Structure 1
Amino acid sequence: MRRVGFLLLLFFCLAKAASAQITVRGVARDSLTHEPLGFASVFLANTTYGATTDAQGRFELRGVAAGPYELLVSYLGYQLYRKAILVQDKSLTVNPQLLPTAQQLAEVVVRPHKNNPDDYRTFEEYFLGSTTFSQQCRIRNPDDVLVDYDPQAKELTATSRDFVLVENRALGYRVKYYGLHFSVDFKRQFVQFYGSPVFEEMRARNARQQRRWADNRRQAYHGSQIHFLRSVYENRVEDQGFRVQKLRIVDNPRRARADSIMQHLLATLPPGQSLVLPDSLQRQRQEPRSYGYLYTRPLPIDSLRQLVADTCQLRFHDLLQITYLPEKPDPRYRPEVPGQLQPGPAPTEEVSTLYLQVPSVQIFPNGRLAHPLAIYNDGYWGFEKMGEMLPYDYIPPKQ
């Protein structure tokens, strides 16, 4: 399957803010019998915070920074527990009540067919990505991934029974991706996936591998969307190496008119006759459907954010073109060229496009958004996927 330039909408779940260190504790119980659930797995989504309940169902997550999170509790024979919590300046008590899944242990799932190998490879390509770091990612439970392709809708979808287990040997993380919702719309050239990833540090073989993981994590962070949003919150966009410009997309009236004429001609064409287009109409139908106008002057910080009642709101008009200047793109990156089947030449800069689908959205100190679906991106950030995914509690070392 040929490579297509896709818009990536990555749904990152609730995470931590870098501030005071708090303890989150509680007791996990069966919601029907109220019996404690011993040895259940407890996590904060999109972070490395995790614990196992003791025999009495008790758990503690220590050293949590203040901020909003999603608490997950996983236990065999029970539905995944998910709850939004807000950690403030005091220890927080949460007592999860898990709902049993009827006859889960005795149930045998019968699938009409196994995943089509080509469909599964397509899923892997767009879920893991094609970056240098993505080449070191592996899905360790492929039989738990359910992939389906609808030829009429030209859409590929994927889900999982429990979680998708991804081992990232480039960054040294083992990621359990709970509640995966994945789709690729080949008509609109749009890919999105979201869920509740949980990160676990892998054990390095030696100090050399640990240093390599630290270097790769720092490289994945620099220039990333998380890095950019943190720099907007801190008013350090230019200082952190980002150049932000206004991008306006305008429809091409000549192409729109040519498409309309083409549809009319096809609708009125007598049966059995072939359609011969004038040269002028053929030339117009080869033009792009829209044009992008890039404003050369970098945008000031007050054109990117608004401070409202002690909150920082991401707010801008049109689109943003964001260039990260301090480093070169991954050598595997080849952006699509409109109207061409083959990708373009290797770019010299990391350039991304950011779309805001609401008037404004709150940014937290760790770079998380109050509503992650409020934005989506294209370009270099769309190229980076699981291979570069970091937990929101990642803090790059000071250089």
Structure 2
Amino acid sequence: MKFKFSIIFSFFLYITYGQINVKGKVVSKSNQPLEGAAVFFNSTTIATITDENGEYQLTVPEGKYKLVASYLGFKTVEREVDINENTSLDRLNFTLEEEDSLLNEVVIGAKKKTKSKKPKYEDFLVFKEAFLGRTNYAEKCKIDNQKALKYYFDPATNTFSVEAKEPIIIINRDLGYKITYNLEKFQIKDRIISYFGYSQYEELEGSKRKKKKWKKNRKKAYHGSLRHFLKTFITANTKEEGFDINIMHRVRNEKHPSDSELAFSKKIFEFQDKRSVPINFNKVIVKPESKLDSAILIHQRQLKHPKIIDKLIKRNVSYSDISYRVEGKVYLKFDGFLKVTYNNEPEEFNYKRDIKRRLGVQKSNFLLFDSPQEILPIGQIADQNNRLVEGYWSYELFANALPLNYKPPKE
């Protein structure tokens, strides 16, 4: 089964080179200092905890960030900050509000969620695969506190969702990170997986041999990734970095049966079913001799020819064909979607389950719901809600993610 993944993962990160101290305080609504609250820049290794007075201090490069404060039992709060020499850096304070005491009293519309009745471990495996992925790195990833996860299923909307009563602790043994993830939303609906949260990265302790392995694996995880691809629009070297781009459109397949043909075949099959007449759907029919033969042919066409197909619009486009610069900012603009091939790495064996062809070089689809969209210097779309990935990029999920302040080593 192929999945489309919409990764809802918000942040800002414009990094420059000036290091600046950031100070602040984290308190409750009653103005009580919260000792031990986590304060971090989202999806980075830049983090700390508050002291007994609820105060914190961080040193960061100049840039635009999302600064996050998190404390168990309280709602996570974020602040978009533009840190530079003119920023008031000693008053980046947070006031946290206590969470509702009953996690399972969350409401969808006017109805409460139905707690999943599947075995808990089966639910966990569904979540783990949809969140971390099935890559080689995902196999070595461990969620330390899986008992913190609560699973729900809404039969009315066919939606599977997961909540966490505390931050999820992820140990990525292949990339060398401990990740504290504040899960705000996770759901699977209509074969689309979406999640949103805040992640804090921490380097694992390890021997020189392990650190050398982690460095190699991080470089491999970065190369060919969506972030690597988007970064090449900033550096203007998409082709040189190994990416080929085709512009595609999705169109109706003329070989697929029409709605009226499908309605006709359904009516014939229902009639045969009422008469308890068995139907040979695999019957070889050269020329239909009855209405049932015609209905079977329609059914066979439906199985053989998908309703929607991808049509090539333009092959081997340059980064300059689909992007432009305004006042130093880079914007991506195109109609349809991009079929992106990364030629420098093969697809992993585990990916074979998702495709009907032989394994080859990495191929992904990239779609913008609204165009144009700004590409941030770190290699991300500014509005993460406005993009969707398919193919190999939807196979490489959170287990392959790197902190946003990761910089690949120079060749």
User: Which letter maps to 1:307?
Assistant: R
Q: Cα deviation per residue 1:334-362 (whole Å; 9 max; x = unaligned)?
A: 1634xxxxx543x2100101011002111
TM-score (norm 2): 0.85
* 2:3 pairs with one of 6, 11, 14: 6
Q: Is the 8 A contact 1:15 1:46 kept in 2?
A: no
2:386 is the counterpart of 1:382: no
How far apart are 1:283 and its partner, in Å?
3.5
Q: Is the 8 A contact 1:368 1:392 kept in 2?
A: no
User: Which letter maps to 2:266?
Assistant: L
Give 1:192's aligned residue. 194
CA distance in 2, matches of 1:227, 1:24: 29
Change (3 A) 1:21 1:288: same
Give 1:394's aligned residue. 406
Q: Is the 8 A contact 1:119 1:156 kept in 2?
A: no
Give 1:122's aligned residue. 126
Stretch of structure 1 that moved more, 24-33 or 70-79: 24-33
How far apart are 1:33 and its partner, in Å?
3.1
CA distance in 2, matches of 1:217, 1:254: 45
CA distance in 1, matches of 2:124, 2:388: 25
2:182 is the counterpart of 1:178: yes
* 1:20 pairs with one of 17, 20, 24: 17
Q: Cα deviation per residue 1:14-56 (whole Å; 9 max; x = unaligned)?
A: 1422313343523324343323333321111111110122222
Percent identity over the alignment is: 24
* 2:298 pairs with one of 237, 260, 281: 281
Aligned counterparts, 1:71-90, within 5 A: 71-90=67-86
CA distance in 1, matches of 2:346, 2:115: 47
Give 1:261's aligned residue. 261
User: Which letter maps to 1:74?
Assistant: S
Q: Is the 8 A contact 1:6 1:191 kept in 2?
A: yes
Q: Which secondary structure does the structure 1 equivalent of 2:339 belong to? A: strand
Stretch of structure 1 that moved more, 362-371 or 304-313: 304-313
Change (3 A) 1:127 1:310: same
How far apart are 1:76 and its partner, in Å?
3.6
Q: Which secondary structure does the structure 2 equivalent of 1:253 belong to? A: coil
How far apart are 1:100 and its partner, in Å?
3.4
Q: Is the 8 A contact 1:30 1:36 kept in 2?
A: yes
How far apart are 1:264 and its partner, in Å?
4.5
Aligned counterparts, 1:1-399, within 5 A: 4-67=1-64, 69-90=65-86, 92=89, 93-101=91-99, 116-151=120-155, 153-185=157-189, 188-204=190-206, 206-257=207-258, 259-266=259-266, 272-273=274-275, 276-278=292-294, 279-286=296-303, 287-295=305-313, 297-334=315-352, 336-337=354-355, 343-345=356-358, 347-399=359-411
User: Which letter maps to 1:97?
Assistant: T
User: Which letter maps to 2:212?
Assistant: R
Q: Is the 8 A contact 1:217 1:390 kept in 2?
A: yes
How far apart are 1:223 and its partner, in Å?
0.5
Q: Is the 8 A contact 1:164 1:180 kept in 2?
A: no
CA distance in 2, matches of 1:109, 1:255: 44
Q: Cα deviation per residue 1:226-277 (whole Å; 9 max; x = unaligned)?
A: 11111112212112111111122211134151x4322255368558246835
Q: Is the 8 A contact 2:12 2:80 kept in 1?
A: no
How far apart are 1:153 and its partner, in Å?
4.0
Stretch of structure 1 that moved more, 175-184 or 292-301: 292-301
Q: Which secondary structure does the structure 2 equivalent of 1:133 belong to? A: helix
TM-score (norm 1): 0.87
User: Which letter maps to 1:352?
Assistant: S
Consecutive unaligned residues in structure 2, runs of 5 or more:
106-113, 280-291
CA distance in 1, matches of 2:318, 2:67: 37
CA distance in 1, matches of 2:197, 2:263: 40
Q: Which secondary structure does the structure 2 equivalent of 1:28 belong to? A: strand
User: Which letter maps to 2:405?
Assistant: D
CA distance in 1, matches of 2:217, 2:364: 21
Name which one, 1 or 2, has greater alpha-carbon Rg. 2
Matched pairs, number: 382
Q: Is the 8 A contact 1:336 1:344 kept in 2?
A: no
CA distance in 1, matches of 2:314, 2:361: 16
CA distance in 1, matches of 2:50, 2:322: 43
CA distance in 2, matches of 1:236, 1:89: 32
